[in-house]
Every structure is written in structure tokens, then in C-alpha cells.
Amino acid sequence: MAVDIGIDLGTASVLVYVKGKGVVLKEPSVVAYDRETNEVKAIGEEARLMLGRTPGNIIAVRPLRHGVISDYTITEKMIKYFILKALGRRTFKKPRICICVPSGVTEVEKKAVEEATFAAGAREVHLIEEPVAAAIGAGIDISKACGNMIVDIGGGTADIAVISLGGSVVSTSIKIAGDDFDEAIVRYMRKKHNLLIGERTAEDIKIKIGTCFPLAQPETMDVRGRNLVTGLPKTVTVSSEETEEALREPTLQIVEAVHSVLEKTPPELAADVADRGIVLTGGGSLLRGLEELIEDKTGINTMTAEEPMTCVAIGTGKFVEFLAGKRDDD
């Protein structure tokens, strides 16, 4: 019995879906290794805690940038580790793996993902476009001749596509997503409060009080960082209104990308989208106020999928099951 796996290889986190078990693993895509010996020290959550806190010889890196492999050997080790962790040690036969790539990646980038997966021990590798996987995972029947618009906001890329008859009709992928939200908060804190904060703190702010649409009741939180004037640690109180100001630019760029896809959509499908609404998936869609912002700017009803974080992984898993089923029927 061969094992079928679906992998959502994301810039920020990797999710693994095993047939019959669902999503079994969700870890950050961070690897910590020793610079001198090239020995991997930690992978996943353990390595994420090391980001920005490592001594000279150990580096904690994210081997994927903007949905594309930037460090090949480390990505390969990471995929291998996650496959082993998800399956346990009991694999006699190499697994069949379906892995997703952002829409609009080049052939070279696709090849890199494919080869890294083969090197990590796959028997067969199938690539699927992220928005298509997200749509399957969100429970949309994509085989019908009816347009659905998916906005998948991950860590490194935001993929926007109109899907009909099982494929994407119009799609675009912009390199603005969750990571850029964090960077925007870091920049804002530096400019407005003269406070230097790390990526992880910025992510905490984004998750706790981040919003891109004015909230009815503003929230605040205390943020610790380094004062750039005195060079000493300092605590500042930040409000959700400030995060809205900080996140205005990246979120508007996503809205503009949605707008440009709608402009290129054939009229029949555009009518379907206006009728059915826009579906948001991916971890970035958990940002508060994003639904309202897109709805406000496009006038189309917008909703977030049920489990936005795991949509893509579930979609790749279902796709691999579908392929396996087709193979067995032949």
C-alpha cells in the first residue's frame, strides 16, 4: 500500500496531509544549521524560536523566499525531515507526493521544487497550482463550468485566481503577503516610535491587534524593543489604529491585484464571481478587516474559508487521492 501525501510548501510554514489521516503536521519552514559543519541543528518550530537569537556559528534561515526555493540543499533536507516526521519510520514504499507551487512560477522554479521532492524520497511528484489547491481545500467544486475567485494569501506570495472547470482562467501572483505585513509593522514602529523590533514581535502585533479596516473598538498592546535614540530596551503601547496605518500599503496592493484580475476576467465568469463572492484562504487572510476592505473596494461579497491555514494542504491531499483513484480505475 503506497502512501499518498500532499504538501503545502509555504514560505512561512509547511503543512503535510496524509491520505486517510488529514493534516498531520504543521510547522514553520525554518531550518537552523551550523555554518562551519553544515550540520542541521533544528527544523520547524524548534528552529523558529532561534530566529534572531542565534550565536555566530549557527544560522536560522527560511529556505524559501516568496514561495520559491532560495536554498536548495536545505529545502531538500527540510522536506525529507517533514515527510519522515509525518509518516513515522514505517515506509517500505516511497510515497506519491503532490506539492503546490504559486501560480506564475517559472519552469526552472517548478523543476527545483520537483527535484527537491524527488531527492527527499518521493516515488512520484505532481505539482498543483496553489489557488487551485486552495479552492479544492475550501470545499469548492472546481470541476463545474462556473467561476470562483480565490485569494490565497500566504507568507511570501498572494495568489489570486478565477477558477473554472478545474483550472485557473485568470491568475496572478504577487510577492506581497504575511511577511510583508510584518515588515510594514517593523518599518512603521521604527519611523513613528523610534523603536526597533524583530520579525517575531511584529508578527505578534499583527496577530493580536493587527487590522486593515477601522475596528469598532480599538485595541492596544505593549510592545518591547530597542529604542534607536538611547540604544536601550523600551516599551511602547501600540493601538490597532496604528497597525491599520502601518498595513495600509501592503493590503491595498493586494486589493489592487484582486482588481486587476477582475478586470481581466471574461464577463461570464465575472458575473459568476459577483454572484458567488470572493473566497479568502491562507494564513494571511486571518488578518482582521481584510474581508471588509476587499468588499469595500470591489463591492463583491467576500468571505474567508473555514480553515484558511490548512486549505492548500487539504487541497493537495485531495488532489493526490483523486489521482490515485483515477490510477486505480484504469
User: Distance between terminal CA atoms of the chain?
Assistant: 17
Report the C-alpha gap between 224 and 234 in whole angstroms.
6
Per-residue model confidence (pLDDT) at position 92: 67
Average pLDDT, the chain: 89
Report the C-alpha gap between 312 and 116 in whole angstroms.
19
Per-residue model confidence (pLDDT) at position 328: 63
What does the pLDDT average to over 84-90? 79
Own/partner long-range contacts of 30-37 (Cβ < 8 Å, ≥24 apart): 30/60, 30/61, 30/62, 31/60, 31/61, 31/62, 31/63, 31/74, 31/77, 31/78, 32/58, 32/59, 32/60, 32/61, 33/58, 33/59, 33/61, 33/74, 34/58, 35/59
pTM: 0.87
Per-residue model confidence (pLDDT) at position 209: 93
**Domains observed in the chain:** 4-133+311-329 (3.30.420.40), 140-176+253-304 (3.30.420.40), 178-246 (3.90.640.10)
Per-residue model confidence (pLDDT) at position 327: 66
- Note the pLDDT tens digit of each residue in 98-155: 998 888 788 998 999 899 999 888 888 999 999 999 999 999 888 888 999 999 998 8
- Note the pLDDT tens digit of each residue in 239-271: 999 999 999 999 999 999 999 999 999 999 999
- Note the pLDDT tens digit of each residue in 267-310: 999 999 999 999 999 999 999 999 999 999 999 999 999 889 88
What does the pLDDT average to over 31-40? 89
Residue type for position 169: V
Report the C-alpha gap between 40 and 74 in whole angstroms.
9
pLDDT of 90 above 70: no
Q: Could you tell me which of 314, 311, 323, 330 has the C-alpha nearest to residue 2?
A: 323
Neighbours of 198 (CB within 10 A): 15
Place of cell 510584518: 182
Residue type for position 285: S
Percent of the chain exceeding pLDDT 70 equals 97
Per-residue model confidence (pLDDT) at position 2: 66
